[in-house]
Structure 1
């Protein structure tokens, strides 16, 4: 009798949870059609503004938009805390978080849950001037749910005093490791600690080899395809053979930068932010002796994982017309240039990368544009947190030799399938 009662209670709880979820989706669908012409003050939500980019932009907006002023809600600088904060406010249908910055990998999750206003019809934004991969990264299915705000693409940093021509393919890079060995330094490193950066690096290896982690539906695991396995195997082999130094399994972005900057690496995969830091006179052993190239691929340019952030309208906002205008303001040329100059952030507008004056200031811009144009977003999945945990745990084990690649991909597949069931 007691077991039957518990079973009934559990079933009731499941039905209640399902009912709440259904009600939430219904409410969100209804909210999509509401307040489309609403104007008034709005709140802009973003993580810590370390570079002081946001406040000058808001001062400019507020000076010319009386009655539609924007208030800055500054979150912490911890991505997990930012995510949790947004989830709590969206779940409570808070109308106060009008415009929010969402990490590229959160966009599909939030869109699938009905929390982001689709940018269609009167809410549409012009994306014709934007780099195409940034638009894909702001979409879920065939619908744009956010405006690309800033982007990022990986670069191959290489020592010009040791390397005459940067490698165009992965095999060429490995072949040049003999030079690094003769110089008594490590050959190549990316970011292989067990954190989000490992998912980024693993995804690059997989997509460059022609594979993928999940299918276009964001749910079906495809990591066990031969191409995906071959991409992961290339990382495992490079680590086992010493082409990737042993200590690289502790590297995040900064550890990799410091190793290259101190002269202990010949090649490094990293983001553009490292460029100016390593050219600082007196603080870098490689200042003036390095350059950048696109990531090497199987037969040519490889596929970076697309980085960056999108800016979205809360489906429950009461002032969506103002929020829509603010999104367009974020895409203006002068705004995008400020992201670059003030925040060292990659613009999403193609024309910024073609400006001769900016190229003179930031010599890596043409290479960065190539990287972004060939970039592929990390898995666009409503279950992304489960996907990235599975990749991190199992790829880390494979690189260290604790699992075979076959076992690692089987375990990733099982974890993804379980998340979507």
Structure 2
């Protein structure tokens, strides 16, 4: 596969002059020239021949193996893997640059689910034929995330949802029969657990609260778990509500009451993992990929065999996870659209690619694989994750997502650090989001 993999630096070096102009445009995040109309059009998926698949690094090796199988069976329609930087922001920038100057360098795009609306509104990706992807057998939230204005514009590739990690050994020691389902139950459990001698020096809970995309995720989950939304089904902001205030107050009061460690204000996923893995936390909200390192039996994890997982808590019952994951989309500028479509179908097929993906490192988009004995034997947390995914919601489906998430981060961070009261922060957020979604 090495001879067919090319990096984004190599390819873009040949178009440096053109991308200078695109960089200037990208700095504004792109402009949707026809954001109000449906993307559904009579796209003609014709043309067969070599194509390029552009994606972030394939650490698991699953994508490489699937591409090798495709190439062996399609010698005249070979796929070249173009590897983008690890940074999501840099990935998005390179994809936008390519689209703005209408290069045919990128054929099939691996898109973060939060980019869907932006790329579809700008017509940088094509709506897919109605019968191309078996969406009826996929987890509904993954299909929703790949849909823009009632048109499927991406093929769900892999997904992700939040898990609630907890110290089962300490719950047992405190006489607590079941993990908490609500924030109030978690607070009550912590009061009992932190009084135990074996819990000396521990803190109750952490999520991810640094001013980063992770804060948008945690804020959106808190609001949804309190019965609110960040934007409604039409994309209009809805954060000046009692539910949104209740959700944000969960985070604000967590710091104010000492439920969260003070340094959690700097936490991203990795910092939270280290704190939990080192035995400093009772509860943690995080992603499934941490399960392996927390379970390591080589001495690196102090909680191996001591923790368990469930759904994140809410205000009246289990909470609502934010959906993560990726979709595959097709560039309108690739000449070999027929090959691109067939490759996307092959790459996201249940038995061909998705089971391999599930056995490597990612959560598949087909619910059946979460109950497949071979998969569950290797990924024992999958049934719990499926529950989380079935209740998951995407982050705001808006065209100007970059500016939107920045506004959310700024105001949520101001509230949890005490720079603004909750009402002011949410009113300011509502005003910013209203301007961005006009």
TM-score by length of 1: 0.90
The separation in 2 between residues aligned to 1:276 and 1:93, in whole angstroms, is: 41
Deviations 1:25-68 (A, max 9, x none): 69x99995454122111110001223333221111110011211
**The residue matched to 1:114 in structure 2 has which SS?**
coil
Partner of 1:247: 263
Residues 254 and 203 of structure 1: CA distance in aligned 2, closer, same or farther (over 3 Å): same
Q: Quick check: 1:62–1:68 contact (8 Å CA) kept in 2?
A: yes
Select the residue among 44, 52, 57 that pairs with 2:61: 52
Partner of 2:164: 156
Q: Quick check: 1:200–1:305 contact (8 Å CA) kept in 2?
A: yes
Select the residue among 128, 135, 138 that pairs with 1:130: 138
Partner of 1:334: 352
Whether 1:417 aligns to 2:434 is yes
**The residue matched to 2:246 in structure 1 has which SS?**
helix
Select the residue among 89, 93, 101 that pairs with 1:80: 89
- Structure 2, unpaired ranges of 5+: 1-29, 173-177
Deviations 1:358-413 (A, max 9, x none): 21221101000001111000001001111100111111111111111111111111
The separation in 2 between residues aligned to 1:29 and 1:100, in whole angstroms, is: 21
Partner of 2:245: 229
- Structure 1, unpaired ranges of 5+: 1-19
**The residue matched to 1:402 in structure 2 has which SS?**
coil
**The residue matched to 1:36 in structure 2 has which SS?**
coil
Partner of 1:64: 73
Whether 1:190 aligns to 2:203 is no
Q: Quick check: 1:181–1:187 contact (8 Å CA) kept in 2?
A: yes
Select the residue among 39, 44, 51 that pairs with 1:42: 51
Residues 31 and 391 of structure 1: CA distance in aligned 2, closer, same or farther (over 3 Å): closer
TM-score by length of 2: 0.87
Whether 1:179 aligns to 2:205 is no
**The residue matched to 1:268 in structure 2 has which SS?**
strand
**The residue matched to 1:410 in structure 2 has which SS?**
helix
Deviations 1:334-353 (A, max 9, x none): 311222222x1111111110
The separation in 2 between residues aligned to 1:318 and 1:334, in whole angstroms, is: 26
Equivalences for 1:376-415 in 2 at 5 Å? 376-415=393-432
Q: Quick check: 2:40–2:151 contact (8 Å CA) kept in 1?
A: no
Whether 1:238 aligns to 2:254 is yes
The separation in 1 between residues aligned to 2:79 and 2:57, in whole angstroms, is: 17
Partner of 2:27: none
Q: Quick check: 1:146–1:312 contact (8 Å CA) kept in 2?
A: yes
Whether 1:200 aligns to 2:217 is yes
Partner of 1:120: 129
Q: Quick check: 1:153–1:304 contact (8 Å CA) kept in 2?
A: yes
Partner of 1:3: none
Equivalences for 1:251-290 in 2 at 5 Å? 251-281=267-297, 282-290=299-307
Q: Quick check: 2:359–2:378 contact (8 Å CA) kept in 1?
A: no
The separation in 2 between residues aligned to 1:349 and 1:173, in whole angstroms, is: 32
**The residue matched to 1:292 in structure 2 has which SS?**
strand
Select the residue among 143, 152, 159 that pairs with 2:151: 143
Number of residue equivalences: 397
Q: Quick check: 1:35–1:319 contact (8 Å CA) kept in 2?
A: no
Whether 1:214 aligns to 2:231 is yes
Partner of 2:115: 106
The separation in 1 between residues aligned to 2:152 and 2:39, in whole angstroms, is: 18
Moved over 6 A (4+): 28-31
